[in-house]
Amino acid sequence: MFETFDSKKSRYASVGVVSSLPGELIDSIWYIIDLDLKGLIPLENILSFDLINNDGHVTMHFSQEGSSVEMGIDLPFGYSNEFPQEVYAYDDGSRQTILLPNEIRQR
């Protein structure tokens, strides 16, 4: 078993995420994981983040399957209808990637 979302491991964002979200929102997901979630609750290897329009600004809503813990984090960044509604953070044990729902391979 490995420690999920260890900040010392390699971190990436998929092409779909990079082309649809500004860098500061991508960075915010990693900050949320490191500063708000790590150590607070046990993290699975896949985390879900909904991007919500909160009066023109972004609220990131965290959830993970099998957990009743949810969290909304208000961010100081403007919201765009062009943003994806949901992104995932995935940790395969050696690298971590933020990706769009349609970029996850179903096995």
Q: pLDDT per residue over 20-73, tens digit each?
A: 999 999 999 999 999 999 988 899 999 999 999 999 999 999 998 888 889 999
Residue 12 domain-assigned? yes
Distances (CA, A) of 61 to 27, 50, 88, 97: 15, 5, 11, 18
The number of domains in the chain is 1
Distances (CA, A) of 77 to 14, 29, 56, 95: 21, 13, 8, 27
pLDDT band at 107 (very low <50, low <70, confident <90, very high): very low
Per-residue burial over 70-98, b = 16 or more CB atoms within 10 Å of its CB, e = otherwise: eeebebebebeeebbeebbbbbeeeebbb
Of 32, 36, 80, the C-alpha closest to 57 is: 80
Residue 21 domain-assigned? yes
What is the mean pLDDT of the segment spanning 70-99?
Answer: 96
Rounding to the nearest 10 degrees, give the CA dihedral for residues 71, 76, 81, 83: -70
* Domain containing residue 38: 8-47
Residue 13 domain-assigned? yes
User: Any idea what the CATH number is for the domain that residue 27 is in?
Assistant: 3.10.450.150
